[in-house]
Amino acid sequence: MKRERTIFSQVLDFLPKYEFDKCVERYQGNHKIQSFPCYAQFLCMAFAQLTYRESLRDIETCLRAVGPKLYPTGLRVRVSRSTLADANHSRDWRIFADFAQVLIRTARDLYSRESLPVELDQTAYALDSTTIDLCLALFPWAKFRKAKAAVKLHTLLDIRVSIPTVVIITHGKIHDVNILDDLPLEAGAFYVMDRGYLDFKRLYRMSLLPAYFVTRAKKNLQSHRVYSRKVDKTTGLRADQTIFLDGLASAMHYPDKIRRIVYYDTDTQKRLVFLTNNFLVEALTIALLYKCRWQIELFFKWIKQHLRIKAFYGTSENAVKTQIWIAVSTYVLIAIVKFHLAKDLSLYTILQILSVTLFEKTPISQAFSLNSFPEKEYHPFNQLTLFDL
C-alpha cells in the first residue's frame, strides 16, 4: 500500500532543488560541512516561516517532535538550535538571495498573463521601502538613530503580479533615493515612486535609458509651463501640462521637458500633482497607475503580519539577511502553490492552512479543497487588493 506523503514534502515539490544546489555551489555553502547542509538550513527556516515559530528553541522543539515525518522532506539530521544559529551566522546570505530570485522568475512567468488595473502594455513597478526597528544593543551594525537600530527593505514590486523583483537590505540610515543608484532598470518599464525618490539628477539618468518614472511633485517645485493639453475634468483630471524646471540645480540636473499632471482624488479629497517623463500614455492612466503604488504598501503590511521578519533568530547582519531572504522565498513559494493548486484562495488562507496541516499525510489539493468557507476580506475604500485573481 502506497504511503501518503506529508503536506510539507508536497509543498517542497515546487522548489527547484537543482537550482538551489547551484546557488550553494556558487558560494561554496557546503564547504567542509558534513551533517547540516544548506538545504537543511533552508528547510528549517522555511518551516519557521510557515508555522510562525518564535525562536530557535521553538524550531528545535517542534522539528524534533515530528521526528520521522521529516525524512521525506530531505531534512534527515537531528536539528539543534546551536547548529542552526551557527549556520545562519556563518553561511553566505547570498545563497538564499539568489535562490529567491530563481523563485521570483518562476512566479512572474506563471502570473505573466495577469492584467494591470490600468490599460498599460509596459511592465510597471512600484518602488518603496519599509523600516524594521531593532534593538541597538543587540544589532549595533544596523545604524539608524542615536539610541535606535533598524534595517530597511528597499523593494521593487511588479504591480501586475504583486511579486517583489528586487529587495535591497540596508541599515536604517540609508536614504531611499540612494537606492536608485543600485537599481537595475528595465528599458521601457514604468517605475512608480513617492516623493522620497524625487531626485532630478537620478530621474534624468533614468530618462536616458529610456525608462519611465511616475512620482509626485513637491509643493516648492519651481517650473514654468510651455504647453497644456485638454482634460476631461469629470474624471478628476485638472491639468495636463508640459513644463521645464526653473530651479538652478533642478534645471541643471534635468534639462529636458517633464509632464505635469494634476488630479483631484474625490475619495481622499486631495489635489495630487504627478510628474512623469512619458508623454504618450493617457493622463488618467498615469494618475490611476500611481494609485496602484498602494500594492507595495499592502505587500509590506502582509509580510510583517504573516511572516517572521520583525523578530530575528540571530543578531548578526548575515543572520538577519538570511532570515529575510528565506521569508521572501516563502512568500513567493506560497504564490506558486496558489497558482497551481488554490487559485480561489487568498495567500493568507493558504498560509493558515499550511501552518496547521504541514505534517498531515493527505493530498495537498484535498487540504485546500476542504476550506469551503467563503472569503470575506476587509478592504478599505482607498486600498487595492493584493494578489486578487
Confidence at 21, pLDDT banded by 50, 70, 90: very high
Q: 276 phi and psi, to 5 degrees?
A: -150, 160
Confidence at 120, pLDDT banded by 50, 70, 90: confident
What does the pLDDT look like over 242-278, one tens digit per residue? 999 998 999 999 999 999 999 998 888 899 999 999 9
Parallel/antiparallel/unpaired status of strands 258-265 and 237-245: antiparallel
pLDDT value of position 74? 77
CA angle 64/91/85 to nearest 5° reads 40
CA angle 325/331/333 to nearest 5° reads 100
Confidence at 362, pLDDT banded by 50, 70, 90: confident
pLDDT value of position 1? 36
Mean pLDDT (the chain) is: 90
Which residues on adjacent β-strands are paired with residue 170? 152
The full set of domain ranges for the chain reads 7-96+313-369, 198-282
198-282 topology per CATH: N-terminal domain of TfIIb (2.20.25)
Angstrom distance (rounded) from CA 99 to CA 96? 5
Q: How far is CA 9 from the centre of its chain?
A: 25
Parallel/antiparallel/unpaired status of strands 190-192 and 258-265: unpaired
With a cut of 50, say whether residue 381 has pLDDT above it.
Answer: no
What does the pLDDT look like over 75-103, one tens digit per residue? 878 889 999 999 999 999 999 999 999 99
